[in-house]
Amino acid sequence: MLLIDAYKPEGGEGQRLTFRLTYRHAEKTLKDKEVDKIHEGLVAAVLAALPVTRP
């Protein structure tokens, strides 16, 4: 995971972070549906664990 950008508006609340994720498997090429399922699980876990919102 790589942090790409951090934005905090002047005088405003909140902050927006942009990350780049690379999904890899050691033995095969991942299909879009596999990556989508993994990504949605990751998003759900982050939303449940941290005080963040999804844009």
Task: Give the per-residue pLDDT at 5.
Answer: 93
Structure confidence at residue 11 (pLDDT) = 80
CB 42: neighbour CB atoms within 10 A?
13
Instruction: Tell me how far apart the alpha carbons of residues 40 and 48 are, in angstroms, rounded to a whole number.
Output: 12
Helices assigned H by DSSP within the chain: 32-49
Residue 11 lies in a domain: no
- CA–CA gap between residue 12 and residue 25 (Å, rounded): 41
In a domain, 7, yes or no: no
| Any domain includes 3 | no
Say how many domains are in the chain.
Answer: 1
Q: Which residues pair with 7 in a beta bridge?
A: 16
**In contact, 44 and 38? CB cutoff 8 Å:** no
What confidence tens digit (pLDDT) does each residue in 1-47 have? 899 999 988 887 788 889 999 999 999 999 999 999 999 999 999 99
**Within a domain: residue 19?**
no
**Residue 28 falls within a domain, yes or no?**
yes
Q: Which two tokens stand for residue 25?
A: 């498997």
pTM of this structure: 0.73
Q: Tell me, yes or no, whether 36 lies in a domain.
A: yes
- Domain containing 39 equals 24-55
* Residue 52: per-residue pLDDT: 86
